[in-house]
Each structure stands twice: as structure tokens, then as C-alpha cells.
């Protein structure tokens, strides 16, 4: 089985993260999957960004949840990465999904609900309603660091695949494993390497697998996938294994 290469926030290493150019590049580079993060604006639009605030990746300040879509759209989400990307907007979930459809993307779409720091009221219902009304040529995997969000999503979408995200807290991870809440695990690669964790019945897709050494480690063990900022380079390394 070939380990899938999943582009983290798009091709984050070479394009401004979580923007349409980053997703386009991931498709161009032949990524098997695309990972991204969703939040909610003040006026309840589904917004693609990693952080809860716009400070790090745009020319604005403040929380996504305190801004309307129109206010978010006025911000520059590309300039922080380089002059060439000045004027790039923050995308909505709809804009990303429509881009993937237009580009005939047929891989995995891993949508992370960023509900661990802010509980956006109704985000699970809103994401489910939007995604379920689309005819999608790709497979969805929902993930979250917040177990309650995954439980809610599962109730709303019992047939969809879910992945539990976890950082370095071993106890938390083991509890999830014992409870068999999810069979797909998206752990920090450092956790995987520290615990030498690989079980055949768990679909393991660690993040963020950027070094050649980590990539080889995952490819050689036939993990189900890796989540990487550099899908193009990962493809070359996978081919050489």
C-alpha cells in the first residue's frame, strides 16, 4: 500500500497557507489529499484559516469570530508570505470546495474543525449542511482536536470518516484508542516516533511530516498517510523508497 501524501493547509511550505494558491499548488504537485482548517465568522460564514485570529497570516488583527465575511475579505492573506501573493484573500469553505471540484480533485479532503480553542456555536451543523448539499468527487475525512466536535459530527454524518487529532499527550491518545471512538488517527509525528506506535488496524496519518527522515520513516512502515507542508518533495522521496 502506497502511503498517501496529504498537503497540510495546502502546499503550505511554498504558498501562503490555507489560501486558494496553496490548494491549487497541492493539486499541481499531485497530492493525494488536502488538509485544511475551518472556523466561523461573526455572520456565520465558514472561513478557511488556521489560527483563531487573523494576526499571524493577514494584515489585520483580531478574532475571526468577531469579524463579518466582508471584513475578513478585505484582509490580505498572502502578503505575509511574499510580495508575489499580495492581494490573496482568505477563502471560504465554499470557495475551496468549488476550486477542488473545478480542478477535478478526487483524493482525500481532510477538513479540521478548529473547535478546540473556540466553541463556534452551530459550526458542526453548518459544515455538515454545506458539505452534504454538494456532489463531491472526493472523499471527506473530518478531524478535530476537540472530541465533542467529532462526536457531534459523527451523529450528523454517521457514514463519513473521522480522524482524531492529538498532540503529545499520551494519556489522551491512549484513552481514545481504548474507547475506539475513531479508527483514524492523526497524531504529531514526534508522538509516533517517541512511542514507535503503529498498529495495522489503525489508519495512521501523522503531521507535520516535513523532514526527509520522517517521510522515509512513514513510507517504509506503510502508514496510511502523511500530512506535510511539502507534498511535491514527499512525492519524490516516496518514489525513491
Residue 66 CB partners (closer than 8 Å, separation 6+): 42
- Is 222 a residue of the active site? no
Shortest distance in whole angstroms from residue 205 CB to ligand G3P: 8
Each residue 24-43 as x (binds Ca ion by CB under 5 A) or -, in order, gives -------------x------
Q: Does 8 bind ligand G3P (CB under 6 A)?
A: yes
8 Å CB contact between 183 and 203: yes
State how far the alpha carbon of 188 is from the alpha carbons of 45, 60, 97, 168, 184, in Å. Answer: 29, 30, 26, 7, 13
**Closer residue to ligand G3P (CB): 58 or 228:** 228
Considering only 24, 29, 32, 37, the residue that binds ligand G3P (CB under 6 A) is 37
Each residue 101-140 as x (binds Ca ion by CB under 5 A) or -, in order, gives -----------x----------------------------
**Closer residue to ligand G3P (CB): 49 or 97:** 49
**Closer residue to ligand G3P (CB): 68 or 211:** 211
How many residues touch ligand G3P under the rule CB under 6 A: the total is 10
Considering only 81, 207, 219, 230, the residue that binds ligand G3P (CB under 6 A) is 207
Each residue 163-192 as x (binds ligand G3P by CB under 6 A) or -, in order, gives --x--------------------x------
**Closer residue to Ca ion (CB): 76 or 112:** 112
Q: Does 230 bind ligand G3P (CB under 6 A)?
A: no
Considering only 24, 29, 76, 112, the residue that binds ligand G3P (CB under 6 A) is 112
Place of cell 504558498: 15
- Is 8 a residue of the active site? yes
8 Å CB contact between 150 and 172: no
Q: Does 4 bind ligand G3P (CB under 6 A)?
A: no
Q: Does 143 bind ligand G3P (CB under 6 A)?
A: yes
User: Is residue 43 packed enough to be buried (19+ CB in 10 Å), middle (13-18) or exposed (0-12)?
Assistant: exposed
User: Which residues are designated catalytic?
Assistant: 8, 50
Interface residues with ligand G3P (CB under 6 A) are: 8, 35, 37, 50, 112, 143, 165, 186, 207, 227
Site residues for Ca ion per CB under 5 A: 37, 112
Amino acid at each position: 500500500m502506497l502511503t498517501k501524501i496529504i498537503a497540510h493547509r495546502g502546499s503550505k511550505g511554498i504558498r501562503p497557507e490555507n489560501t486558494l494558491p496553496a490548494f491549487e499548488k497541492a493539486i499541481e504537485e499531485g497530492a493525494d489529499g488536502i488538509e485544511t482548517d475551518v472556523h466561523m465568522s461573526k455572520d456565520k460564514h465558514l472561513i478557511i484559516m488556521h489560527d483563531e485570529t487573523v494576526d499571524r497570516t493577514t494584515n489585520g488583527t483580531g478574532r475571526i469570530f468577531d469579524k463579518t465575511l466582508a471584513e475578513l475579505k478585505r484582509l490580505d492573506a498572502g502578503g505575509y508570505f511574499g510580495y508575489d501573493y499580495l492581494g490573496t484573500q482568505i477563502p471560504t469553505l465554499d470557495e475551496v470546495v468549488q476550486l477542488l471540484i473545478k480542478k477535478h480533485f478526487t483524493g482525500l479532503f481532510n477538513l479540521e474543525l478548529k473547535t478546540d480553542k473556540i466553541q463556534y456555536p452551530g459550526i458542526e451543523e453548518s459544515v455538515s449542511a454545506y458539505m452534504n448539499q454538494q456532489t463531491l468527487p472526493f472523499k471527506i475525512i473530518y478531524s478535530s482536536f476537540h472530541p465533542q466536535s467529532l462526536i457531534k459530527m459523527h451523529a450528523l454524518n454517521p457514514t463519513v470518516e473521522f480522524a482524531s487529532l492529538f498532540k503529545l499527550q499520551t494519556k489522551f491518545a491512549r484513552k481514545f484508542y481504548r474507547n475506539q471512538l475513531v479508527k483514524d488517527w492523526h497524531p504529531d509525528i514526534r508522538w509516533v516516533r517517541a512511542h514507535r506506535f503503529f498498529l495495522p488496524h489503525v489508519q495512521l496519518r501523522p503531521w507535520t511530516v516535513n523532514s526527509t527522515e520522517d517521510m522515509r520513516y512513514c513510507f517504509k512502515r506503510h502508514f496510511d498517510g502523511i500530512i506535510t507542508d511539502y507534498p511535491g518533495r514527499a512525492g519524490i522521496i516516496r518514489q525513491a523508497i
